[in-house]
Chain A
Amino acid sequence: MGKFFGCIHSKGPDFMRSGIPIALLASAIAHAASAKDGGAPFKIHGQSWLDAGKVMASHDTLTNDGTGDFIDQEGVWLQTMGVQFTAVADLSGNMEGAFGFGAHKATHSLGRFQGNTKVKYLAVSLFQNFITQARLTYFQGEKAAPWLSGTIGSFNYTYNRDSKNLGSYLLRGPVYPGLLMGGFQDFSADSGKANVMGFQLHHGAGSFSQDLILKNEKDLPPTFDWSLACVAKYKMSDAVEIGGGVNFYRLIPYNPKLETPGKLSVDGGRSYEIADTVTHDTVFFSHQGIKVMGMFSVELNKFLGMGGLGPDDLKLYGEAAILGTRNYGTVYGKIGERMPVMLGFNLPAWGLVDFLSVEGEYYKSPYRNDLANIGTLNNVADWTLQNPARPTPSPAPVGGAYPDSTRDNLKWSVNVEKTVAGHVKFLGQVANDHYRPRPVATGLTSSTGGTAETFTTPQDWYFMFRVGYFF
């Protein structure tokens, strides 16, 4: 079966290949659909958007080639657009399938590289396609709020629906190093797009709900690893909800040698540390780790009883996480440097907009929030692929003097959204967040960058707008 889904090229156990869940899903949907005369009833949903904005201040964006080459993002205009369709089918009284696809415009960053602008003329602008969903869901109880359900395939799972930009630490980003992800309308935080490939088991009982997620790594190298996460939420009252979760990140590695590289030579960083120069005790870093998360949401408007407010106005919410419960080496020696904390508040808007929120984040990591040692997931075109080093579980750069990366500890984001006529959306964001620009093109078939954040000092910021609609 693997041949038909193009997944026979990799080493390792077959069950870890991402093509298998899709194959199972496809055949299950086909089987279920064929069981009905005339096919399964389905509904198509669509979405279209145009984004535009500008980086107003950006001080130091480095490349990922280890040379420290400098990409200047200041003043760069950002623009993209996209379209997606998703078909959701009722396969039986307690089974639902969904699949869809889309395309969005990807363009090399228009920044300056080493002070020159010719990269702006080498930039490639093209459409990249993606799968919105490819899932099969079995449920017991009401479809909208089942007491038990299981989902397999590519699907969306957003445990923190209050978060507009920051947060969602449990399922975004690596553990060692503990890097944060995000940006304006980040795909991984968009409920209309799949962010999990794998399996979800959901259980709900009144005010309590819990989810078990078995997630296959499809974004960050080393890919094909399996992570096991559990999220539980409890609604203490009509206005207060608390939640917590744990993620055994990369619990089942696709290739243990990639997971814990040991003393394998690497180009971009070191995967071990001599902990004791006398005994030569060596600490080996691993991509594996355990994330722990806690979150809360309080709807103050229900306490205060203020009239005229929108349903989400005056909501206070927050999330904190530990990115790696284990201390080891000097790089990962302080747990306090691996704890991002986010707080958000929906300001009163009295129905003028859907929400107007402010989010702030503090993360005391002394290292650059840079994926350089992990890999680039930001490439524009196959023929401009970079040549990344073996994915290394260490911050970038590691060894020697670390650059001062404490100036990016505070992040913030102001978001506003307005829905018109039930289907047309206008969004705006002003932020200093974890947006990573795509690489700059350095030749017709080469590029660099794409792993480091644009905003690394308190003075950095950008704005974005979106107009779009959905049905």
Chain B
Amino acid sequence: MVSKMGIANPLALLAVTAALPFGSRADDPKVEYHGAGWLQMGRVEKSFTTEKHEINNYTHTWMRNAGAVFEANVSIDEHWDGRLGLGAVNVHLSRGKTTNANIWYPFWVPFVPEAQITHTNTFSENSKLSFTFGSFGVDYNPDAKNLGLYLMRGYVYPGSLVSGFTGPLGVLAATTGAMGSYRFGKFQYDQILVSETEDKPLYDFSLAEILTVRPAPGLEFGFGANHYRFIAQDKRLTSPGKDCRADMEMGENGIGCFEVVNTLDADGNILSSDTITGSLAGTKLMARFHVDPKAMFGLGESLGGGELVLYGEAAVLGVKNVGNYYKDIMRRIPVMMGFNFPTWRILDNLSLEVEYYASRNSSDNLGAQFGSWIPNVDPDVNNARDDWKWSLNIDKIVAGHVKFSAQVANDHLRVGGYHNYATGVETTTTPEDWYWTTKAVYFF
């Protein structure tokens, strides 16, 4: 299995890394500082599913956060450069639980948006090789405003999707690990070794490979594979076997270690039982496109750079069928398309993104956070009602340093639980559900 997943590739990266020019030296690095401060505020207007849960009803829940971030871009010499940052954000536990409002409290949470070091060898104007270590954002689909980016976000089994705003400086949620990038002409190849630091079990290694092709001006294609959790920190956690005991190894929030499929006779009696084991590990595939008619046909010089761009992304979340929950690959393929409407530079962005994902499994990822590759089952929820998602996004930059953003969406927002009650349920799970949020950012 390992050989199929390209174990030779990280070894190749290591070999090239060992050949880095250790002898070079720069005494006075050039440092460029950036910063941002923001206030984000919005409200869940309708959350049909959570309305049925007495303990966590998110309808008409306000959401708010404020923060600041400070970053430095460091150029050490012609080969080495780094980026590092510090920030703090004021967040609240979700207000869905109204009967215990006394334990609804705010936090100032420090965070590190980036902590990376990159070594680059430039061979020619269109050819360079770089290696990055640390904590960095992987933005293989810069068009995506909210939906998409399936390759690097979320679990495979269960295939729960993730969405959300990017950071105030355009930085995505950081990936920790190492990345090798090779750009040659119209091609770019990225190989990313990811150490899992967000979704549990922690510290599993995933290996993602992304090929980007720019065959003509205004036209771009991307293809990728993510061998998700191909090296497990603890194999038993990532791939629980038949002897797994959910109560001891997962706790009360685990859904189960394996699936039991019973064969019944006509009267409903069990004839035989089959135990199906699975894993949180799996392989994701991704393809995307970007079409800019302005660049292709020389249109619309009065339009902004991103306007009229049509883009899309599709993925397979797990190429292997497993048990009853993952028996149909077509229900593991999310597809999104987006379009940037023309605004004639009045706005910096006015985009609409739409997504279709025919999964019949619950989007609640709490079970996976406790090791279950089996999806959560809630008989009160119709999982066919959340197939369509959409997001309308607007951005406007004023005076070069002030950015106003707004989003109206039915997406994969998870506002979390309260105090000592955890939940991974999505807030908008029916076509009637939606929320809005706004953000004002000052940046330099």
> Is A127 an interface residue when CB atoms closer than 8 A count as contact?
yes
Interface of A is mostly: strand
Q: B237 is contacted by which of A117, A129, A418, A468 (Cβ under 8 Å)?
A: A117
For A116, list chain B residues within 8 Å (CB): 248-249
Q: How far is the CA of A84 from the CA of B134 in the complex (A)?
A: 14
The segment from B110-118, B148-156, B337-345, B433-441 found at the interface with A is B110-118
B135 touches A81 (CB 8 A): yes
> Is A445 an interface residue when CB atoms closer than 8 A count as contact?
yes
Whether A85 touches B86, Cβ cut-off 8 Å, given contacts A120-B200, A421-B26, A469-B117, is: yes
Instruction: Tell me how far the C-beta of B418 lies from the nearest C-beta in chain A, rounded to whole angstroms.
Output: 11
Q: How far is the CA of A77 from the CA of B238 in the complex (A)?
A: 14
B233 touches A110 (CB 8 A): yes
A50 touches B203 (CB 8 A): no
Q: Which residue of A lies closest to B421 (CB)?
A: A444
> Is B273 an interface residue when CB atoms closer than 8 A count as contact?
no
Within 8 A of B (CB), among A19-78: 44, 46-50, 52, 75, 77
Whether A101 touches B86, Cβ cut-off 8 Å, given contacts A121-B201, A468-B117, is: yes
B110 touches A50 (CB 8 A): no
> Is B82 an interface residue when CB atoms closer than 8 A count as contact?
yes
Interface size on B, residues (CB 8 A): 56
Whether A421 touches B251, Cβ cut-off 8 Å, given contacts A79-B197, A125-B202, is: no
For A421, list chain B residues within 8 Å (CB): 24-26, 76-77, 79-80
> Is A205 an interface residue when CB atoms closer than 8 A count as contact?
no
B251 touches A118 (CB 8 A): yes
Whether A422 touches B25, Cβ cut-off 8 Å, given contacts A120-B200, A121-B250, A127-B112, is: yes
A117 touches B249 (CB 8 A): yes
Q: How far is the CA of A422 from the CA of B80 in the complex (A)?
A: 10
Q: How far is the CA of A125 from the CA of B203 in the complex (A)?
A: 11
For A423, list chain B residues within 8 Å (CB): 26, 29, 74, 76, 80
Mask for A76-102, Cβ within 8 A of B = 1, else 0? Answer: 010101111100000000000000011
Instruction: Tell me how far the C-beta of A118 lies from the nearest C-beta in chain B, rounded to whole angstroms.
Output: 4
Instruction: Tell me how far the C-beta of B74 lies from the nearest C-beta in chain A, rounded to whole angstroms.
Output: 5
A103 touches B117 (CB 8 A): no
For B86, list chain A residues within 8 Å (CB): 83-85, 101-103
For B200, list chain A residues within 8 Å (CB): 120-121, 123
> Is B54 an interface residue when CB atoms closer than 8 A count as contact?
no
Most buried by B among A83, A117, A122, A424: A83
Instruction: Tell me how far the C-beta of A424 lies from the nearest C-beta in chain B, rounded to whole angstroms.
Output: 6
> Is A467 an interface residue when CB atoms closer than 8 A count as contact?
yes
B251 touches A48 (CB 8 A): no
> Is A128 an interface residue when CB atoms closer than 8 A count as contact?
yes
Q: How far is the CA of A52 from the CA of B205 in the complex (A)?
A: 12
For A469, list chain B residues within 8 Å (CB): 74, 76, 80, 82, 117
Whether A120 touches B115, Cβ cut-off 8 Å, given contacts A101-B86, A420-B80, is: no
Most buried by B among A49, A79, A121: A121
Most buried by A among B22, B31, B85: B22
For B25, list chain A residues within 8 Å (CB): 421-422
For B74, list chain A residues within 8 Å (CB): 46, 423, 469, 471
Q: Which residue of A lies closest to B250 (CB)?
A: A118
Mask for B38-66, Cβ within 8 A of A = 1, else 0? Answer: 00000000000000000000000000000
B234 touches A75 (CB 8 A): yes
Mask for B170-213, Cβ within 8 A of A = 1, else 0? Answer: 00000010000000000000000001011011110000000000
A422 touches B202 (CB 8 A): no
> Is B303 an interface residue when CB atoms closer than 8 A count as contact?
no
> Is B253 an interface residue when CB atoms closer than 8 A count as contact?
yes
> Is A235 an interface residue when CB atoms closer than 8 A count as contact?
no
Within 8 A of B (CB), among A145-195: none
Q: How far is the CA of A120 from the CA of B199 in the complex (A)?
A: 11
Q: A85 is contacted by which of B72, B109, B233, B250 (Cβ under 8 Å)?
A: B72
Q: A52 is contacted by which of B76, B195, B250 (Cβ under 8 Å)?
A: B195
B134 touches A467 (CB 8 A): yes
Whether A50 touches B176, Cβ cut-off 8 Å, given contacts A79-B197, A127-B111, is: yes
Q: Which residue of B lies closest to A110 (CB)?
A: B202
For B420, list chain A residues within 8 Å (CB): 383, 443-445
Within 8 A of B (CB), among A398-449: 418, 420-424, 443-445
Contact-residue bracket for chain A:
35 or more
B29 touches A471 (CB 8 A): yes
Instruction: Tell me how far the C-beta of B244 lies from the nearest C-beta in chain A, rounded to whole angstroms.
Output: 10
A83 touches B85 (CB 8 A): yes
> Is A275 an interface residue when CB atoms closer than 8 A count as contact?
no
> Is B138 an interface residue when CB atoms closer than 8 A count as contact?
no
A127 touches B27 (CB 8 A): no
For B233, list chain A residues within 8 Å (CB): 77, 110
Whether A422 touches B22, Cβ cut-off 8 Å, given contacts A81-B176, A445-B420, A467-B133, is: no
For A84, list chain B residues within 8 Å (CB): 86
Within 8 A of A (CB), among B221-253: 233-234, 236-237, 248-251, 253
Instruction: Tell me how far the C-beta of A412 lies from the nearest C-beta in chain B, rounded to whole angstroms.
Output: 26
B176 touches A48 (CB 8 A): no
For A126, list chain B residues within 8 Å (CB): 109
For A81, list chain B residues within 8 Å (CB): 112, 115, 134-135, 176
For B254, list chain A residues within 8 Å (CB): 118, 121
A50 touches B76 (CB 8 A): no
For A77, list chain B residues within 8 Å (CB): 202-203, 233
Q: How far is the CA of A424 from the CA of B119 in the complex (A)?
A: 10
A117 touches B236 (CB 8 A): yes
> Is B70 an interface residue when CB atoms closer than 8 A count as contact?
yes
Q: B27 is contacted by which of A50, A125, A422, A444 (Cβ under 8 Å)?
A: A422
> Is A107 an interface residue when CB atoms closer than 8 A count as contact?
yes
> Is B369 an interface residue when CB atoms closer than 8 A count as contact?
yes
Whether A79 touches B85, Cβ cut-off 8 Å, given contacts A85-B70, A121-B369, A423-B26, is: no
Instruction: Tell me how far the C-beta of A275 lies from the nearest C-beta in chain B, rounded to whole angstroms.
Output: 47
> Is A105 an interface residue when CB atoms closer than 8 A count as contact?
yes
For B195, list chain A residues within 8 Å (CB): 52, 79
Q: How far is the CA of A469 from the CA of B29 in the complex (A)?
A: 11
Whether A127 touches B76, Cβ cut-off 8 Å, given contacts A50-B133, A118-B248, A118-B370, is: no
Q: How far is the CA of A467 from the CA of B420 in the complex (A)?
A: 36
Whether A46 touches B76, Cβ cut-off 8 Å, given contacts A107-B202, A418-B22, is: no
Q: How far is the CA of A217 from the CA of B422 in the complex (A)?
A: 37
B26 touches A420 (CB 8 A): no
Q: Lowest 8 A-B CB distances belong to which pairs?
A: A118-B251, A48-B84, A103-B110, A129-B110, A116-B248, A48-B115, A444-B420, A77-B203
In the complex, 19 of the A-B residue pairs with CB atoms within 8 angstroms, ordered by the A residue number, are A75-B234, A79-B197, A79-B203, A83-B115, A104-B112, A110-B202, A117-B237, A121-B201, A125-B202, A126-B109, A128-B110, A420-B80, A422-B25, A422-B76, A423-B26, A467-B134, A471-B29, A471-B31, A471-B76
Task: Identify 19 new A-B residue pairs, CB closer than 8 A, beyond the known A82-B115, A123-B200.
Answer: A75-B234, A77-B233, A83-B84, A83-B85, A84-B86, A101-B86, A116-B249, A118-B251, A120-B201, A120-B237, A121-B200, A128-B110, A420-B22, A420-B24, A420-B80, A421-B26, A421-B76, A468-B117, A471-B31
Q: Contact residues of B with A, CB < 8 Å?
A: 20, 22, 24-27, 29, 31, 33, 70, 72, 74, 76-77, 79-80, 82, 84-86, 88, 109-112, 115-117, 133-135, 176, 195, 197-198, 200-203, 233-234, 236-237, 248-251, 253-254, 369-371, 419-422
